[in-house]
């Protein structure tokens, strides 16, 4: 993957023992923000996708495909790209101004998100219109 990308994929270390699989996460190896919130995306229904959006100024996230599979859709100014995530082997760091959502989630999919912010119900830091996102990218160079 090009170094010009704002987002970053990680292959997670898996330690297999005779009795279990352990996936340790030394957060300093993946993120440089303080985790203020953890949330889970589970039990996908219907079209099995999440809301498309980007965070404008404040929220960085690390998404970990803990179980099952999903496709993350990303755009950091290079156009929409799709990447298949398989758990518990992969994670992706998504900083501000990166359009993202998940789709094609397997029925057993569990995604864990580590966030740099507490949830703000006003959603004032969200852009949920893709055309508006593209205009913001043009304005910000």
For the chain, what are the domain ranges? Answer: 8-139
Count of residues in the chain:
141
Q: What is the mean pLDDT of residues 34-53?
A: 90
Provide the 3-class DSSP secondary structure of residue 67.
strand
Predicted confidence (pLDDT) per residue in 67-84, tens digit: 999 999 999 999 999 999
Measuring CA to CA, which residue among 92, 85, 67, 102 is closest to residue 10? 92
Q: Which fold has domain 8-139?
A: Jelly Rolls (2.60.120)
Q: What does the DSSP 8-state code read for residue 65? A: E
Predicted confidence (pLDDT) per residue in 6-38, tens digit: 999 999 999 999 999 999 989 999 999 999 999
The pLDDT of residue 2 is 45
């Amino acid at each position: 993957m090009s170094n010009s990308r704002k987002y970053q994929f990680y292959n997670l270390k898996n330690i297999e023992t005779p009795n279990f699989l352990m996936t340790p996460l030394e957060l300093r190896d993946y993120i440089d923000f303080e985790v203020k919130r953890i949330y889970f995306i589970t039990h996908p229904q219907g079209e099995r996708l999440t809301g498309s959006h980007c965070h404008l100024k404040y929220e960085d996230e690390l998404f970990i495909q803990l179980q099952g599979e999903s496709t993350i859709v990303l755009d950091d100014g290079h156009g929409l790209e799709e990447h298949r995530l398989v758990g518990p082997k992969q994670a992706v760091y998504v900083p501000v101004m990166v359009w993202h959502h998940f789709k094609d989630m397997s029925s057993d999919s569990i995604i864990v998100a580590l966030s740099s912010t507490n949830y703000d119900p006003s959603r004032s830091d969200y852009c949920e219109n893709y055309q508006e996102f593209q205009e913001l990218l043009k304005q910000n160079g």
